[in-house]
Amino acid sequence: MEKVFRYSIKAIIIKDDKLLVESCDYGRGRFSKLPGGGHQWGETMEQALIRECKEELCLDVNPQRLVLARDYIAKNHNSQTDLASFHQAELMFECQVDDFSKLACGKEPDGENQQIKWIRLDDLEKSDFYPKAIIPYLKKIKDIKETIVLGDVN
């Protein structure tokens, strides 16, 4: 079994107490997640995030600060959908967006069934948003003064 490791750079975009998410279905059930994606060789983290948000959302983002970091090691989470050999490190940046007028017109959506939506921060727990472990931090993001490393959580 081939071991798979990747970095994923994610955008935390909050407006009017709502979180911008991508609702995806990769053939294993619909769930919502932070926008962003794979870090490519030769890119800085910020460049990767800017590229991913432009491709998927048609948004120009301005990464402000790295807020959260987590590992996701599938074999530790009894995942029915990910191979046990899958390991992803996620770096989550709080982002500023000045213009939402082209939102959801991205030329490379994250899967053919991608939907862009806003979820009220107070509704995240009862939504299909993952990872659940970051919800308390998202709700108090303004209180976070330095990057929080969460470890292997889902």
- Between CA 115 and CA 24 the distance in angstroms is 7
Residue 63: is the preceding peptide bond cis (ω within 30°)? no
pTM: 0.91
pLDDT of residue 76: 92
Number of domains in the chain: 1
What residue numbers bound the domain in which 95 lies? 4-152
- Residue 51: give its domain's CATH number: 3.90.79.10
Q: Is the dihedral of CA 110, 124, 121, 95 positive or negative?
A: negative
1 pLDDT tier (thresholds 50, 70, 90): confident
